[in-house]
Structure 1
Amino acid sequence: MASQRQVALAWLTMLAALAVTSFAAPLRNAQDCVTPTLLKLVDQRVFPSAHQIQSTSVVTLQDRTTVTVAQDFSVTYYDTFKVVKNLNVKVNETYLLYQCGTTPPSDLAAYDLPANTKVLSIPLMSVSAEDTSILYFMKQLGVADRVGYVTSYAVDPCMQALLAPGCGRNDSMATADVVDATFTYGKNDKDATSIAFTATADPGPLNRAEHIKYVAAFFNREAIANTIFRTISAKYDATRQMVSSYVTSTAAMKPLVAWITYFPAYDSPSYKSPASIYLYFKAYRKDYTEDAGARTFDPIALNATYGNGKTIRISSDRDIIFSDLDNTRATLRTILKDVDVLIDESYYGGRNPTTITIDDFRTMYGFTAESDMTDFKFLATQRVLRLDGVATNDGSQGWLEEAVARPDEVLRDLAGFFQPGAFVASNDPNSGPVAPRFARTLFVSASKPSTVLVTSAAQCPANQLTCGGAPAPVCPAYYIDCSGKPTVATESQPCAPTCKPSVNTPAPVNQPGAAGRVAFAPALLAALLAVALAAVAGFAC
């Protein structure tokens, strides 16, 4: 039979394990929440107009304001909560986000909300990111420290640090007791805390970037999101205007561009697919091409000329798909013969991008004959590009992460390859050519070395290593100033100033979700550990 000392030691072991588990989710920062005093001073209205997303479509009624961004999502602001709707036709989900420190409405039907509306306390405290495209948006908003678990395809160094040994926070390990919500690409009806993030489904470069406002709504960061998007939009427009003016004034030739991807054959018990090559024509690629001073094919005309509805066919996204490559590759070669710039988006089996060469490209697509180097313009003029300029050692790309949020940088990259003279001719001292970030040439040499930036966890600054630790506060849109008056927070003063005596000390708040579930843990664990330690000491002799 075990001695009392052994029992006490067993308690210590169990409690140590419990402590690790309990602290897997960070505590809710009280500064995130409104206080009863503040609520009374602002008449229960916690979302001033300066802290709402901005758009050209705004409808203001007596009890609410609805802002719609394109046809992608809308946010309706009530007094103490907001309703976010993802309007993507494949998602169509509704989220009720109530300010921490308040109570959500109990009757969804009173607000014409569906019964399956997902109810979340904001700002979200700890989230799992299953899709890379959300990550840079959170970084821009200053809430990357609220990513508790992350996809293994992450490119950002600090997100890779979450995956590193000693932290190991892969999104597959995230459970409902350690995160408040999970950002995922698709819809998940079975998870009441999943949030569909569909920026990459949007057709236009700037439309995709404007999803920063969607992300912001879940963290009360709309004010900074408005500023960031205005800046990115202005930079994008400035590059577009510069290129357009240059092409018009000089009658510069617009190069013919093709975006292309090779998919190897796939064979499994549940799914089979032959090897295929796609010519991409999704709207955002067309926009990038034309705004950077180039041109591309008309997919409808291509399909009318070459399509057969089977082995050469057009998709719902207007991509042209070539299968049965032994018999269709000749047609593809005919189409590509006069292409000036070819952008290869293929995946090379998880290889470090710095090892991918022009010979690998030629082998993959079948341009192996020596004569191909002169017969195809994009090979003869050495204008084969890839979009893995920022990537990890195993081939995950910033193109699918950072680039979604930074169309202004993508456009500059492409314009630098399509119309380099535009930068030289511009009189704007801030518009000179810069080293490309996402796009790069596959033709490298001693004089033109590879420009790939390979990221790793080791590049994360020490002060940004979180491993699920307590994040910085995201203070409410109002605070009480030192004279006791409610004041709208600003970028320069986002939280309440220090006052003596303080009028801004929040009262304890009971919260659901990961943060609330562990809020009781420190005191309870301390008490239990004290008991166990006392027991061990008592039986020491």
Structure 2
Amino acid sequence: MKIFSFVVSACTLTSLVAAQATVITQNLQSCIGDGQFQLGIDYFPNKFTPRKYSPIFLPENQATLDMTTDLLEIEYFDYYKIVTNKYHNKTYLLYQCGATPPMEEVLSGRHQLVLPIPHKGGLAITETPQIPPLELLGLRQEIIAYIGDPQYVSSPCLNYAIDELGSVEVVFDPEDPWNSERTQELTDEFLSRHPEAIIFGGIFANASADRIMGVAETQERTNVATFDWISLYAALFNLEELSNEIAKETEERYQCSSANARSLSSDIEEDDRPVIFWADFFEGYNWSVAECPTWDHTYYCEYASHCGAHIISRPEDMGTQDEYGYWYLNDDEVLKLGKDADIFVFPSLFWDTVYEQKRDILDQFKAVQNKRVYDTQGGGPNAWYEQRLAEYDVVGNDFCAMVGLSNPNQDPPHTIKWLRNVFTGTVPEEGTCNVPENLDDQYVPVGAFCAPVEQLGGPDEGGDTEGSETSSSAPATHAGLALVSSILYVTLLW
């Protein structure tokens, strides 16, 4: 007599007699049942697939270049996966709950964390850019703590969870905000109460500290690769199918705006393309301007190339370097460099203050005279630093619209979200959270829709819905994708 174990959904129970082996078609959203684990079965049929980005704007001899995620790797084995953060040189062993972790790997001592998944111990975040990937995946309610000053959080629903529900603990001492030792004391105390929690740490975090999982998306070369780190969060909850879908659709929209810009600018000579001057002012240091020796040097260099525009880069012989390696230009230098640019982007909160202080200089800029100055406050005071990385497709739409190279026939037309004209725009108030519906819903970026220039009319069914944080047209939630939650484990005597 042979024993065959297999997996089948409840609605197909009548067909069990035809099955002779275990078949898992989607990553499990719950633990393997007692006595049901089998060696040799692939428990992770949905795996992280890194995006391979080939920028449309590159010259023909470089057009086949595939740029991918450099610093994040996930290796899959039958019932466990190893996540590697190459920036911090750390690995994390994630094994399907209900199985026994691979003891050879555990005893090797090489992994920073060994975790059963889907993770159930809660998440603590330390930087606001860690919020949107979790919200895009519908995992907002997995966040149980924010370690740091909550005034910089812009997510309406997370703020509601902090201020109204109290379901997100703030680990921070407002009386001693800059004392790292005090913050560590509070963090240790938090972990004593939540020993199974995971703390996401940024690039400056101690990646060897207790329960830390390092995040280093900002060190990737491209916007596409930066966004691909959504899969780190997804891997903890077996949501790779969803994260792959979101990453694919986001890149497709991003490529759409670049293709439109390329098509619309095909008859424009290189010397006639829009010119962007990107500069910020720091009291006591002077002007910090763009450095774009290559298109992939920083995110704003990429956006300019993405939209067929030129961005002015600081010449090597201009400016003064400080003790930290940053370069600054004085008033005369910044005027010489940027006064003839078509567009001035001031990536800061303080345009009004700087303009009053530097009016004599700034009024000589062509962009100021033509009222084509933009800051980064279109999404609110802090949203640029929180959500921009997760909405690079929307920012791409914005850049192309700002330089006049977005689809003029798109219906509805794209409304610039992130880049606010300082003369005509206003800084929006903080959004609201529709309670309780939005607490579990996936975040859906506003303004992501892009129609190719040859396509007239609005978005197809299932596209982005303007004006709402969440929408029924969003990608299927993890609950919808995880059909295995209704799967039965059955053993037949054959």
- Of the candidates 107, 114, 137, which is equivalent to residue 119 of structure 1? 114
Please give the alpha-carbon distance, in whole angstroms, between the structure 2 residues aligned to 1:386 and 1:202.
24
Q: Which residue pairs with 2:395 in the alignment?
A: 410
Question: Is the contact between residue 125 and residue 199 of structure 2 (CA under 8 Å) also seen in structure 1?
Answer: yes
Please give the alpha-carbon distance, in whole angstroms, between the structure 1 residues aligned to 2:332 and 2:29.
64
- Relative distance call for 1:372 and 1:298 in structure 2 (3 A) is closer
Residue 265 of structure 2 aligns to a residue whose secondary structure is helix
What is the CA deviation profile of residues 147-203 of structure 1, one whole-angstrom value per residue up to 9, with x for unaligned ones? 111251221111111221551621446522325201121342452311111112223
Question: Is the contact between residue 263 and residue 346 of structure 1 (CA under 8 Å) also seen in structure 2?
Answer: no
Question: Is the contact between residue 304 and residue 310 of structure 2 (CA under 8 Å) also seen in structure 1?
Answer: yes
Whichever of the two has the greater Rg, that structure is: 1
Q: Which residue pairs with 1:279 in the alignment?
A: 289
Q: Which residue pairs with 1:182 in the alignment?
A: 199
- Of the candidates 224, 234, 256, which is equivalent to residue 275 of structure 2? 256
Please give the alpha-carbon distance, in whole angstroms, between the structure 1 residues aligned to 2:362 and 2:208.
53
Question: Is the contact between residue 242 and residue 478 of structure 2 (CA under 8 Å) also seen in structure 1?
Answer: no
What is the CA deviation profile of residues 307-364 of structure 1, one whole-angstrom value per residue up to 9, with x for unaligned ones? 4xxx357987xx6423xxxxx322222212112211112244xxxxxxxxx543413x
Is 1:380 equivalent to 2:369 in the alignment?
A: yes
Q: Superposition pairs for residues 185-196 of structure 1, below 5 Å?
A: 185-186=202-203, 187-196=205-214
Please give the alpha-carbon distance, in whole angstroms, between the structure 2 residues aligned to 1:251 and 1:198.
39
Q: Which residue pairs with 2:216 in the alignment?
A: 198
Residue 114 of structure 2 aligns to a residue whose secondary structure is strand
Q: Which amino acid aligns with 2:417?
A: R
Name segments (4+ residues, structure 1) moved above 4 Å. 54-57, 312-316, 489-493
How far the C-alpha of 1:235 sits from its partner, in A, is 0.6
Q: Superposition pairs for residues 358-437 of structure 1, below 5 Å?
A: 359-363=352-356, 366-369=357-360, 372-373=362-363, 375-391=364-380, 395-396=381-382, 398-420=383-405, 422-424=406-408, 429=410, 433-437=413-417
Task: State the superposition RMSD in angstroms.
Answer: 3.1
- Relative distance call for 1:492 and 1:242 in structure 2 (3 A) is same
Please give the alpha-carbon distance, in whole angstroms, between the structure 1 residues aligned to 2:484 and 2:74.
26
How far the C-alpha of 1:258 sits from its partner, in A, is 2.1
Please give the alpha-carbon distance, in whole angstroms, between the structure 2 residues aligned to 1:337 and 1:296.
13
Q: Which residue pairs with 1:159 in the alignment?
A: 158
Is 1:459 equivalent to 2:433 in the alignment?
A: yes
Q: Which amino acid aligns with 2:82?
A: V
How far the C-alpha of 1:108 sits from its partner, in A, is 2.9
How far the C-alpha of 1:53 sits from its partner, in A, is 3.1
How far the C-alpha of 1:55 sits from its partner, in A, is 4.9
How far the C-alpha of 1:52 sits from its partner, in A, is 3.7
Please give the alpha-carbon distance, in whole angstroms, between the structure 1 residues aligned to 2:98 and 2:373.
55
Q: Which residue pairs with 1:94 in the alignment?
A: 91
Is 1:438 equivalent to 2:418 in the alignment?
A: yes
Q: Which residue pairs with 2:341 in the alignment?
A: 339
- Relative distance call for 1:180 and 1:75 in structure 2 (3 A) is same
What is the CA deviation profile of residues 73-110 of structure 1, one whole-angstrom value per residue up to 9, with x for unaligned ones? 1111112211111112xx11111111222222233388
Question: Is the contact between residue 303 and residue 314 of structure 1 (CA under 8 Å) also seen in structure 2?
Answer: no
Q: Which residue pairs with 2:69 in the alignment?
A: 70
- Relative distance call for 1:210 and 1:198 in structure 2 (3 A) is same
Question: Is the contact between residue 258 and residue 339 of structure 1 (CA under 8 Å) also seen in structure 2?
Answer: yes
**Sequence identity percentage:** 19
Residue 339 of structure 1 aligns to a residue whose secondary structure is coil
Q: Superposition pairs for residues 267-306 of structure 1, below 5 Å?
A: 274-281=284-291, 282-299=297-314, 302-304=315-317, 306=318
Question: Is the contact between residue 92 and residue 111 of structure 2 (CA under 8 Å) also seen in structure 1?
Answer: no
Question: Is the contact between residue 348 and residue 377 of structure 2 (CA under 8 Å) also seen in structure 1?
Answer: no
Gaps of 5+ in 1: 1-29, 58-67, 265-273, 323-327, 349-357, 467-488, 505-541
Please give the alpha-carbon distance, in whole angstroms, between the structure 1 residues aligned to 2:260 and 2:269.
14
Number of residue equivalences = 385
Question: Is the contact between residue 129 and residue 171 of structure 1 (CA under 8 Å) also seen in structure 2?
Answer: no
Q: Which amino acid aligns with 1:292?
A: C
Q: Which amino acid aligns with 1:423?
A: N
What is the CA deviation profile of residues 465-509 of structure 1, one whole-angstrom value per residue up to 9, with x for unaligned ones? 48xxxxxxxxxxxxxxxxxxxxxx99855134758xx658xxxxx
Please give the alpha-carbon distance, in whole angstroms, between the structure 2 residues aligned to 1:205 and 1:361.
30
Please give the alpha-carbon distance, in whole angstroms, between the structure 1 residues aligned to 2:434 and 2:282.
33
Please give the alpha-carbon distance, in whole angstroms, between the structure 1 residues aligned to 2:252 and 2:481.
25
- Higher helix content, 1 or 2: 1
TM-score, normalised relative to structure 1: 0.64
- Of the candidates 96, 103, 108, which is equivalent to residue 105 of structure 2? 108
Gaps of 5+ in 2: 1-27, 54-66, 173-185, 292-296, 441-476
What is the CA deviation profile of residues 369-420 of structure 1, one whole-angstrom value per residue up to 9, with x for unaligned ones? 2x843x21110111111112112xxx32x22222101211001011111125
Is 1:145 equivalent to 2:141 in the alignment?
A: yes
